Structure 1
Amino acid sequence: MKKKTSKVQSLDFIQNLAKMLIIFKDDERREILKRIHSAENHVILTEGKYHEDCVLKLKNEYKLFTRSSQTPYFDKISEAMEEIYDFMLSSEECQFTMTQLIEAVQICDVIPHEDTIKNHLKKRFGNQIVISSRIGGVTYVCFSTTLYDILTDSWRKQKSKTIEEEENALIDSAAELIRRKIRTVICDVNQYSPSDKILINVNESIPPQLLRFLEHIIYKDKHHNEQNFNWYSKKITSIAHAIMSSARPKSFISPLQLATGATLYRKFGSKKMIELCYNLGFSCSYAEVQLYEISAACQDERLLKEPFLQIISDNSDFNVCTIDGRGTFHNLGSIEIITPAECLQARKPIKRLRSSEVPLESELVEKNRIDIQLYTKKTGSGLGIIKVQKISPEPKFTITIIDVLNVLWSYFKYARDLDFLGWNGFMSMLCAENTNYKVSKINFLPFINGPPSDYNTLFTALNNAAAIVSKEGMKTCIVTFDQPLYIKACDIAETLVFDDVLIVVRLGGFHLLMSFMGCIGTIMEGSGIKEIFSLIFAEGSVDLILNGHSYARAVRAHFILPQALSLLIFDELKRENNVEFQELLDNEEYFTYEMNFEKLKSNEHLKKLNEIFQSKLDEIENRGKTCKLWILYYKMVSLLKKFLAAERMGDWEAHLNCIELMIPFF
């Protein structure tokens, strides 16, 4: 009898047929499977045919084979799940990752699929577990118990007890409730929070019931005001994190305790101090701090988007707190200033490295090591080609808004109150409402392991700075050094070209101002200024003030003396019955403390006050050589103030203008 045949209609049919044939090991079916594979894409086009009875027989045999083979497979799945159940129930932890559960299968040779594990866990534990896959794609399994179960069990066990026993039962029930709430919180232990956000929402993983419980114990009977609330909230948070860390030592990483441990490590570098705080429950372990530092060091660099970069390099000293002062390690450290701060990519969570992923010390050092490059030019050759030309036209003192505000500050001291704000506070008050500025971000760069004053080290630093700014598409690289390194850096920058990047070596404002104050002290020598300063400061420190080495005292001294001079000038204007000046004194509404920087620019009364004051300065200057010297001193200090204002306001043009005016004094 001829067998009934049919045509192959789809590719799915061929694929299903191959799936059934592949489980059989006999030669006949292997040959059929080989034919199908060789002509799989052409069977439909050539209208291939098959016997319906043969296909039906194959399907029946396939069903019988899979039924007989599935039974031992399901038995092995059950064995694997029993291992997982034993691991979960015998563990002290309440939170597990799916990876941990899969790794718990040690005896059985079949590893269940993740979905299979989830289904079996739900059948086995029901509402006693919570399964979550929200954090970073990692699946977490947590135990939980409902409030109803806890209170019901407590009531049944403690029924008809004494008052003391009932109180203990309530405490036990509350403790059990909080303990279960702690166990149900899902915490990500695979990553750390970004360093700039580590203390934001620090109580996010703390159960509200625990915070409420501690608040009732600690804060309930205290005076409820903002100061007390802030004070006790810190204590409540600290104790809550200590409880949480103790209850879940492996499945919870406290951001508060991590920040505390990292701060102790960076501030004191003491393992004993960190371990002491860890044993008391108020810090993470020293090993965790080390892992955090290593994980942060291995994180990828953050990207920049069209930034303006400045590089600052200076001496870096390590191990300076030695008894004999020896063994101190010196190298060259650098930072980069990124403007505006928004150009820097936001910090990402830090991946917590596993023990197998922790790099060796040598690998960590090599990651950011900067090799020393040799400077082959003759030292001093660059300084020899710098041309010094006479500035034409010669720079002159010009009145700026800062000069006008200096006069206004002195006027307030004279007309209103000698206890009025200092110059710093006055300028800050005027600029408080100014929003026309960009916030910068400071980023640390790798250290250069070499003597800071060595030409090779400085050459390496300039090369590295040029590479950094060139990478961001900048053509000009501004590098700032202190005075000892500035000369050598200028020498190097004049002799070489750095990757088509123009290197601008800049002397730091601190050292420039210190040298300028030394010039002021030299010019004013023998004028009686030393005797005046000796009335205010210790006599032994006056020489340091005049040469600028005692920076903070020198700035303060040069602020006090011109203020006294301006008070004498205002007093002389009043004695002369200057009508315009007297009108300003009589009308206090002309100048108010509420004025801001922008309003004062267009204030006509302020312009009049400045004209009166400057006219009096010119008059005094023409009285003789001594008067001319002290008016010059007043102008030099005004220049000092303008330089400080330019530095703090980031005014590059004003900065250059001040330097242009300072150069003739050196």
Structure 2
Amino acid sequence: MRFYENFLYLAVFLGAIMEVCKICHGPLATSSTVCLTSKGSKTINAASEERGQDILCIPGDVVHTDCRKFLTDKRRILVAKRRIANCYSDTSEPPKLRSHSSFDFRDHCLFCGFPARINERKRENDAFSVRTFEFQKTIGKICEERNDSWSREVKGRLGVINDLHAADALYHQTCSFNFRTRKNIPSTFSPTPAKQKKECTSGRPVELIQQKAFMKITDYLEANDDEQITIVDLVKKMEEFCEIPYSVVYMKQKLRQKYDKDIVFTDVNGKLDVVTFCYTAKSILHDFYMQQKKDPESDKFALITAASKIIRSDIKCMSISKQSYPSPTEVGSMNFHTNFLPLSLKIFLDSIFIEKNPNLKIAAIGQAMIQAARPRVIISPLQISLGVVLHQHFASRFLIDTLHNLGFCTSYSEIKKFQSSAAVVQGNSLQVDVGEESCLQFVADNVDHNACTIDGLNTFHGMGIMAAITPVVKKDFQVPRRDVSKEEVLNIGTIDVSLYQQKTKTKKIPFAKLTILEAKNKFWELDFMSSIIWPLRYPKPAWSGFLQMFNSGTFPGQSSSVFFPMIDLDPSNMSCIYTTLKFVCREASRYNKTPVITFDQPLYWKALLTRNERESDLNRIVIRLGGFHLQMSFLGAIGHNMGGSGLQELLECVYAPNAVVHMLSGKAVLRAVRGHFLVESTLYALILSEIYGIQIPNEENGGGKNPNDESRELQPDDTDLDMENHSAENSSDCNLAQKDSGDADEDLSGRDDSFHMWHPDLQIICAMYDDMCNENLSADEACKNDVFKGIKDKMSGFMRDLPSNRTATLWFEYLNMVSLLHTFIKAERTGDWFLHLQTVKKCCHI
């Protein structure tokens, strides 16, 4: 502890050698010095104010002993007060302007009131005549902005007459320039005599009013340190306390004299000379030493206070721009968020958290502390990102304001400003780079807003348009932060409406016979295996999960969506549809893409009519009925075709009766797809049971049974082969899938008796399924086996043997329709355009 005190004394002594006296500004090493306490600094500040000087000291400053005695001497203070009183005595009233006596617009200057004449050949005293009426309006606005004694004098003259040009008013050019630039009356035309200015003692007089105004400015600066305040702002603020403020240069000089190294002038966000306090580590440690000297028992709290001051000083020295919001790449980078913190704050938080990887929490809490320290200067990336995400998911102002008050999120007003700024940057067109190999597709549908108001007013029903780009296009650009007016949003958030005029009478659109499409359904064998594997291996995954388990490879990737402005018209209006088609064609032509747009069924039909009647630029557009609406219509066709067949009662065993009604009509799409796939698996199980004689799984029996082995039933534990017991048979099963069915009995000698008694085709299917689950067999190798074609041919033969049974024929047709539903969903999800066309052609029976 003694060593630490000696170290601090040495630091103070070395600092005293390099510093200057706060009173005389001379080097401290030239004479004896004294370190001021709180009482000593207050005494010096009071004496300086009585003398009319601007000396300001704080506890810990070092000054000369002689300078301190000279400044606080009471007799010298009285002498200084008398000198100031004599210099600023108010015994005589200041002379008035000449305009107070008699003023004529034709003979006197409008601004100073002195005579101003214009000779025919030569201008006298730089005089001009008022030539326009706009001159009077401009001077009136400047009078409102200046609001001082000179402006009030000029404003009174303007109120006497309505037209300065008609009155032949004159003015001096120098007076006009000084008045416009917020300066005083030129000395040539100043009403104050020159002798009166020299009555004071030699040297620059001490302006008491300016000095008091400057002290108020320093108090304002210290109280609003969390704002970006420039020297110009301080000069304007000083005008509120005195009529003649300091100039920008002199204000900067006075601040340097008062705060010395504790203040920094920087250029931030395009603003010049931004004032920032920056307490050095030396001054902070000095305060820590003084506090410890006063109260030795408060070491812990003094140390915490010193550390907090150092961290806050580093936060103030951060070079951060508030002109733009962070880009998406920066927001998604953890290194950016951690590097955003000052090193001192990062070290402090690292020493608190004990997790293995606390980088995200450190970045979040650190940025929250930075935002709380300087709320009006800094925008923390994590806080603005969290606010935008919360607003998109919940649209709750209460939630965002609550988190903002707790310090975890940015304010709701800042989020709205970000959205308006981003909307201006986005505009009403695509602002992304769409590559040549990218797929661009537009989607348009009706949009409703405030549709459930109590009075039915303030609702919106219009056309919304968006673009889907595959693969995803990253929009990595910064959004400039700016104040956006409502007019700007309205200008960029509109699409020009084109009036639709019907040229010819509406004609029926003929359906031409489609050409024969030969699209290959890849991996149809996996679809077939998914349908027939249930009675052989129980339980089994659903169809989507089955394909996802065994299908792998590259794919185009995730799609990105871009939203466009809405069209404020009824979507069913022909002008709205015509405007939408023209807008899509224009946007697609910018990227040399074929315009493709998707509608729902009512809009799809009207769009077809509009395209066939308009000019050639709309004939190139491809209008699609959305895959969801196609699927919904086909599900409705299946339900209508199976009406009265018992399908409804069968589905009611799983779903509620009210839900089944919507499933058969095609409205409940997800439930309908799931229900039809369950029924399909049940029908295939019945067919396999009839063809191969296997037992169907039920509540008491989880697996299949060979008809030749009545004593043993295949339980669920038997179907799900254990990985350890089956590992030795994987290689033989893989080879078995490639052999002829006649050799299957020899290769399956290692399995249980019931499996051995199954038909060889079913044994091969089970072996391939097990190997694929264990990743010993790929989907490509499995699909090359001819066993799928053999089983399918046997099922087709079984179906042909029952031509006279109408019920069986209906259910066989139902299986074909569900198979088309399989293919349609696969074509949509894999982006196989030709398979999509072929499936739609089969669904329409064209």
TM-score exceeds 0.5? yes
Whole-Å Cα distance in 1 between the matches of residues 770 and 550 of structure 2?
Answer: 17
Aligned-residue offset at 1:207: 2.8
Q: Deviations over 1:535-575 (max 9, x none)?
A: 11112222211111111110111111111222334444543
Assess if the C-alpha contact under 8 Å between 2:400 and 2:409 holds in 1.
Answer: yes
Q: Partner of 1:435 in structure 2?
A: 554
Whole-Å Cα distance in 1 between the matches of residues 845 and 346 of structure 2?
Answer: 67
Aligned-residue offset at 1:593: 4.6
The one of 378, 381, 398 equivalent to 1:252 is 378
Aligned-residue offset at 1:105: 4.7
Q: 3-state SS of the aligned residue for 1:299? A: helix
Whole-Å Cα distance in 2 between the matches of residues 407 and 156 of structure 1?
Answer: 86
Unmatched tracts of structure 2, length 5 or more: 1-202, 204-209, 237-243, 695-757
Change (3 A) 1:580 1:95: same
Q: Which amino acid aligns with 2:801?
A: R
Q: Which moved more, 1:185-194 or 1:236-245?
A: 236-245
Q: Which amino acid aligns with 2:793?
A: S
Change (3 A) 1:589 1:640: closer
> Map of 1:504-523 to 2, 5 A cutoff?
504-523=622-641
Q: Partner of 1:469 in structure 2?
A: 588
Whole-Å Cα distance in 1 between the matches of residues 478 and 347 of structure 2?
Answer: 29
Q: Partner of 1:375 in structure 2?
A: 500
Aligned-residue offset at 1:306: 4.0
Aligned-residue offset at 1:482: 0.7
Whole-Å Cα distance in 2 between the matches of residues 153 and 112 of structure 1?
Answer: 31
Whole-Å Cα distance in 1 between the matches of residues 382 and 523 of structure 2?
Answer: 45
Change (3 A) 1:438 1:539: closer
Q: Partner of 2:404 in structure 1?
A: 278
Q: Does 1:651 align with 2:784?
A: no
Change (3 A) 1:427 1:128: farther
Whole-Å Cα distance in 2 between the matches of residues 481 and 516 of structure 1?
Answer: 16
Unmatched tracts of structure 1, length 5 or more: 1-71, 73-78
Q: Partner of 1:173 in structure 2?
A: 306
Q: Does 1:452 align with 2:571?
A: yes
Q: Does 1:291 align with 2:417?
A: yes
Whole-Å Cα distance in 2 between the matches of residues 544 and 350 of structure 1?
Answer: 46
Larger relative contact order (C-alpha < 8 A, sep ≥ 6)? Answer: 1
Q: Deviations over 1:584-608 (max 9, x none)?
A: 4357665335378xx423436x632
Whole-Å Cα distance in 1 between the matches of residues 768 and 494 of structure 2?
Answer: 66
Whole-Å Cα distance in 2 between the matches of residues 422 and 158 of structure 1?
Answer: 73
Q: Partner of 2:782 in structure 1?
A: 603
Q: Partner of 1:18 in structure 2?
A: none
Whole-Å Cα distance in 1 between the matches of residues 787 and 270 of structure 2?
Answer: 66
Assess if the C-alpha contact under 8 Å between 1:339 and 1:441 holds in 2.
Answer: yes
Change (3 A) 1:584 1:487: closer
The one of 328, 338, 342 equivalent to 2:459 is 328
Aligned residues: 557
Whole-Å Cα distance in 1 between the matches of residues 264 and 787 of structure 2?
Answer: 76
Larger Rg: 2
Change (3 A) 1:631 1:613: farther
Q: Does 1:194 align with 2:301?
A: no
Change (3 A) 1:392 1:157: closer
Q: Partner of 2:798 in structure 1?
A: 620
Whole-Å Cα distance in 2 between the matches of residues 281 and 401 of structure 1?
Answer: 55
Whole-Å Cα distance in 2 between the matches of residues 392 and 263 of structure 1?
Answer: 49
Q: Partner of 1:155 in structure 2?
A: 289
The one of 484, 490, 494 equivalent to 1:365 is 490
Whole-Å Cα distance in 2 between the matches of residues 376 and 253 of structure 1?
Answer: 52
Assess if the C-alpha contact under 8 Å between 2:531 and 2:680 holds in 1.
Answer: no
Q: Which amino acid aligns with 2:289?
A: W
Change (3 A) 1:583 1:373: closer
Q: Which moved more, 1:186-195 or 1:454-463?
A: 186-195
Whole-Å Cα distance in 2 between the matches of residues 607 and 417 of structure 1?
Answer: 23
Whole-Å Cα distance in 2 between the matches of residues 186 and 213 of structure 1?
Answer: 20
Whole-Å Cα distance in 2 between the matches of residues 303 and 407 of structure 1?
Answer: 42
Change (3 A) 1:303 1:590: closer
Whole-Å Cα distance in 2 between the matches of residues 109 and 176 of structure 1?
Answer: 31
Q: Which amino acid aligns with 1:533?
A: L
Aligned-residue offset at 1:457: 0.8
Q: Deviations over 1:504-544 (max 9, x none)?
A: 11000011000001111122222221121111111222221
Q: Does 1:207 align with 2:336?
A: no
Q: 3-state SS of the aligned residue for 1:480? A: strand
Change (3 A) 1:554 1:210: same
Q: Deviations over 1:179-224 (max 9, x none)?
A: 222222222111111357545433443334435545655x44xxx4
Q: Deviations over 1:239-263 (max 9, x none)?
A: 4333222210211112233234334
Whole-Å Cα distance in 1 between the matches of residues 398 and 764 of structure 2?
Answer: 70
Q: Partner of 1:494 in structure 2?
A: 612
Change (3 A) 1:91 1:203: farther
Whole-Å Cα distance in 2 between the matches of residues 473 and 493 of structure 1?
Answer: 20
Change (3 A) 1:653 1:135: farther
Assess if the C-alpha contact under 8 Å between 1:316 and 1:332 holds in 2.
Answer: yes
Whole-Å Cα distance in 2 between the matches of residues 657 and 139 of structure 1?
Answer: 70
Assess if the C-alpha contact under 8 Å between 2:267 and 2:274 holds in 1.
Answer: yes
Assess if the C-alpha contact under 8 Å between 1:87 and 1:104 holds in 2.
Answer: no
The one of 653, 661, 664 equivalent to 1:543 is 661
Q: Does 1:353 align with 2:531?
A: no
Q: CA RMSD in A?
A: 3.9
Assess if the C-alpha contact under 8 Å between 1:295 and 1:351 holds in 2.
Answer: yes
Assess if the C-alpha contact under 8 Å between 1:318 and 1:330 holds in 2.
Answer: yes
The one of 383, 388, 391 equivalent to 2:511 is 388
Assess if the C-alpha contact under 8 Å between 1:84 and 1:105 holds in 2.
Answer: no
Whole-Å Cα distance in 1 between the matches of residues 371 and 837 of structure 2?
Answer: 56
Q: Deviations over 1:97-120 (max 9, x none)?
A: 7x934554556797669xx98x99
Whole-Å Cα distance in 1 between the matches of residues 257 and 541 of structure 2?
Answer: 74
Assess if the C-alpha contact under 8 Å between 1:646 and 1:654 holds in 2.
Answer: yes
> Map of 1:42-191 to 2, 5 A cutoff?
90-92=221-223, 100-101=230-231, 104-106=234-236, 143-147=277-281, 149-159=283-293, 161=295, 163=297, 165-191=298-324
Q: 3-state SS of the aligned residue for 1:332? A: strand
Change (3 A) 1:332 1:172: same
The one of 581, 590, 594 equivalent to 2:775 is 594
Change (3 A) 1:207 1:533: same
Q: Deviations over 1:634-653 (max 9, x none)?
A: 12111111111111111111
Assess if the C-alpha contact under 8 Å between 2:764 and 2:787 holds in 1.
Answer: no
Q: 3-state SS of the aligned residue for 1:434? A: coil
Q: 3-state SS of the aligned residue for 2:447? A: strand
Q: Deviations over 1:318-339 (max 9, x none)?
A: 1135357765321110101123
Assess if the C-alpha contact under 8 Å between 2:383 and 2:409 holds in 1.
Answer: yes
TM-score, length of structure 1 as denominator length? 0.73
